[in-house]
Amino acid sequence: MPRGRKQHQDRSGARQYPRTARLNELCQQIVADELRLIDDERLELVTITFMRVDRDMSRAVVMFTALGEDEAGALEAFEAHRVRLQAAIGRQASMRRTPELRFEVDRVVETGNRIEQLLREAPPVRDEHPELTDGRYKLAEGFEDGPAGRA
């Protein structure tokens, strides 16, 4: 890695330079602002959660959540307004090349809710494993109790 350049990681785990991170944030803000100006009821309860612009700036993925059950309607609306959103990015970001936008439903909130539900439904550990009732694991013979041999 060249000297003096810091790298960041986005939600996908891909490394990106600060310029790319700033570009992601800028484009996300532009799309969110333009979304407020679009008069389409399918987009009223939509939130832009994340945006990732490719390094070569040819494509960008816009991740969104839709409150309610009409994710398919929101996806159709985004496709219908894609050219307008791309034009807004080109106009406001002063980029040589405007990325082609692709829209995807962000499942992070849904996944988080499912994990919370599973944790609520899971039986307490102490009911399944009586050896944990005093707060300590029973260890195999020859091992000291506690981490790294501490008593």
- Residue whose C-alpha is closest to residue 81's, from 23, 33, 40: 40
Question: pTM of the predicted model, to two decimals?
Answer: 0.66
Residue 139 lies in a domain: no
Residue 89 lies in a domain: yes
If one counts the domains in the chain, the total is: 1
- Strand order across the 59-66 sheet: 46-53, 59-66, 100-105
Residue type present at position 6: K
> Which range marks the domain in which residue 14 is found?
8-124
| Domain harbouring 71, CATH code | 3.30.300.20
Residue 65 lies in a domain: yes
12 by Cβ neighbours in 10 Å (0-12 / 13-18 / 19+) ranks as exposed
Segment 107-123, tens digit of pLDDT: 888 888 899 999 888 87
Segment 25-73, tens digit of pLDDT: 999 999 999 999 999 999 999 999 999 999 888 999 999 998 877 889 9
